[in-house]
Amino acid sequence: MNKTRLALALPFALATLASVAAAPAAAQTVRWAAAGDALTMDPHSQNEGPTHVMNHQVYDSLVFRDQAMKLAPRLATAWKITEDPNVWEFKLREGVKYHNGNPFTADDVVFSIQRAKHENSDMKGLLTSVVEVVKVDEHTVRMRTDGPNPLLPNNLTNLFIMDREWSEANKVMLPQNYKAGDETFAVRNANGTGPFRLVKREPDVRTELERNEDYWGKGTYPMEVAKVVFTPVRSAATRVAALLSGEVDFLLDPPVQDLERLSAAKGIVVRSGPENRTIFLGMNQGAAELRSADVKGRNPFADKRVRAAMNIAINRDAVKRVVMRGQSVPAGIVAPPFIDGYDKAMDVVPAPDVARAKALLAEAGYPNGFAVTLSCPNDRYVNDEAICQAVTGMFGQIGVKARLDARPKSIHFAELPKGELDLYMLGWGVPTMDSHYVFHYLYETRTDKGGSWNVTGYSSAKVDELTKAMNREIDLGKRAGMVAEVWKTVQDDVVYLPIHHQMLNWAMKDDIDFPVQSENYPYFKLLKYRK
């Protein structure tokens, strides 16, 4: 998507909001807004939060995390390890139909797992241990892993099941190659088993969903919402104005600077909680030379002293106080506090020390610092661009002149996987609720088997070995030791620059009963109206 089209998206969004407001909405229509849109409707193309949010409305996974972040049945009603410790068996829900009327069967699960393992898929990292998936009968499948994998169900909460027949008919047997800019039928169209049908999809403008009256979950979930209308609006002030004026009913990402005003507004409530997400900066430490730096013939980030200097240049408490208005928890580790393997003793926030940082840079051979570009999304995380602006000033105090390149997430996340960004912002949630997910995606050496989001060039044979071993270890004590050793290694290596654990706020009309969910996934099938 080019910048011109994105620049035009906001006026279209405002026009859409105005047109929605002009006609009174039905009592069961939810009109909601957020800063950014889903990247695609292809459920296996991108492992990205807002993309999952939209696909969760239309598709189902085998299992999912409920409001309490517990694993719950979805298209699978039961799962267990068989007599063979390398094989998981999943019993599938019977009587389920896709939106086009096709029956859901084991064939669809086999197809979807195989599709998600394709090289185009950003979901393949969750399935690296799966070597075979087979149909036992119409409503039973078995997955064989390359050794015991006690956490396999945890990896399936965002792994959506597609209709094999529909995929064949529409020539989408393979996932969209997002990096190559592929445009397939599955990018703007969908046929799931989920609570809502996709009616209209205009990327970066408007998405309309309607309730699936044949949904298998009717009677189990409230299902009080008949229609969902989503409008992405990048401007924070415009989103807030839309909620206050009644043009939208629900904001997924109310700006922190307006939380007090929204909480005090008549007819509006703000609900809060900790989010399963840590915000941090990554550095390209593997390249021989940085693309954007004024240093030629060597890479400053390859020197641990430079990375350590930048780490203690960041005043995380100031970011919390000034930028986040208190809505963050300063972080010393790239892992939210409630995942398995998190160690509070490692989540120590380094005190900012400009003098020591300058000394480290001088020791590394950069007494006058250097210039580099900081790439940052401006419509993905809470106050993302403002955080980057603050951090560039802090880097400037030690002589690192960071030129800020703030851009829409559709551009940021298209470029990031190419490994060509020198210094960048990323946020990371952990849907498996386990440290292995962090290691596998962010710290493993980048290959077709792992490290798909490790674009730092960092590589450690010990980290790779332990990360693979812990995925098969069934002795909990031994596994905990492996996890702790990896955390100590990557923390000592200063691979990333953690900034904070993000807090979560949802703002909505006060007739809506909708508690926050720590993954920041609003399941609209769970929304209820106050009587």
Q: Which helix (H) or strand (E) holds 275?
A: strand 268-283
Please enumerate in sequence order all residues whose Cβ is within 8 A of that of 268, keeping only pairs 6 or more positions apart, or say none.
Answer: 243, 244, 262, 507, 508, 509, 510
pLDDT tens per residue across span 361-398: 999 999 999 999 999 999 999 999 999 999 999 999 99
User: pLDDT band at 457, cuts 50/70/90?
Assistant: very high
pLDDT tens per residue across span 32-83: 999 999 999 999 999 999 999 999 999 999 999 988 889 999 999 999 999 9
Ordered domains of the chain (ranges, CATH): 43-178 (3.90.76.10), 275-503 (3.10.105.10)
Distance spanning both ends of the chain, measured CA to CA: 43
The C-alpha atoms of residue 196 and residue 382 are separated, in whole angstroms, by 27
**Mean pLDDT along residues 71-96:** 97
The C-alpha atoms of residue 350 and residue 332 are separated, in whole angstroms, by 7
Q: Which two tokens stand for residue 443?
A: 């710290």
The C-alpha atoms of residue 264 and residue 67 are separated, in whole angstroms, by 26
Show the 3-state SS of 377-445. Answer: ECCCCCCHHHHHHHHHHHHHCCCEEEEEEEECHHHHHHHHHHCCCCEEEEEECCCCCEHHHHHHHHHCC
pLDDT tens per residue across span 146-172: 999 989 999 999 999 999 999 999 999
Please enumerate in sequence order all residues whose Cβ is within 8 A of that of 165, keeping only pairs 6 or more positions apart, or say none.
Answer: 102
Indicate if the pLDDT at residue 12 is higher than 80: no
Q: pTM of the full predicted structure?
A: 0.84
Please enumerate in sequence order all residues whose Cβ is within 8 A of that of 155, keeping only pairs 6 or more positions apart, or say none.
Answer: 126, 127, 432, 437
Looking at residue 68, what is its pLDDT?
84
User: pLDDT band at 200, cuts 50/70/90?
Assistant: very high
From residue 57, how far is each of 15, 208, 237, 383, 507 by CA, in Å?
25, 11, 27, 26, 19
Q: Name the nearest CA neighbour of 446 among 235, 322, 282.
A: 282
208, β-bridge pairs: 200, 229
Indicate if the pLDDT at residue 199 is higher than 80: yes
Looking at residue 449, what is its pLDDT?
85
Q: What is the DSSP string of 79-93?
A: EEE-SSTTEEEEEEP
pLDDT tens per residue across span 295-304: 999 999 999 9
The C-alpha atoms of residue 493 and residue 499 are separated, in whole angstroms, by 17
- 254 in Cβ contact with 505 (< 8 Å): yes
Indicate if the pLDDT at residue 19 is higher than 60: no
- 482 in Cβ contact with 489 (< 8 Å): no
pLDDT tens per residue across span 477-510: 999 999 999 999 999 999 999 999 999 999 999 9
Rounded percentage of the chain residues whose pLDDT exceeds 70: 95
pLDDT tens per residue across span 103-144: 999 999 999 999 999 999 999 999 999 999 999 999 999 999
User: pLDDT band at 27, cuts 50/70/90?
Assistant: low
Task: State the CB neighbour count (10 A cutoff) for residue 412.
Answer: 23
User: Virtual CA dihedral for 389, 392, 393, 397, nearest 10 degrees?
Assistant: 170
pLDDT tens per residue across span 217-253: 999 999 999 999 999 999 999 999 999 999 999 999 9
Mean per-residue pLDDT over the chain, rounded: 93
Looking at residue 474, what is its pLDDT?
87
The C-alpha atoms of residue 88 and residue 237 are separated, in whole angstroms, by 49
Residue position matching structure tokens 């993309």: 51
The C-alpha atoms of residue 106 and residue 76 are separated, in whole angstroms, by 10
pLDDT tens per residue across span 254-264: 999 999 999 99
Cα torsion angle, 51, 53, 56, 58, sign: negative
Indicate if the pLDDT at residue 1 is higher than 70: no
Looking at residue 219, what is its pLDDT?
94
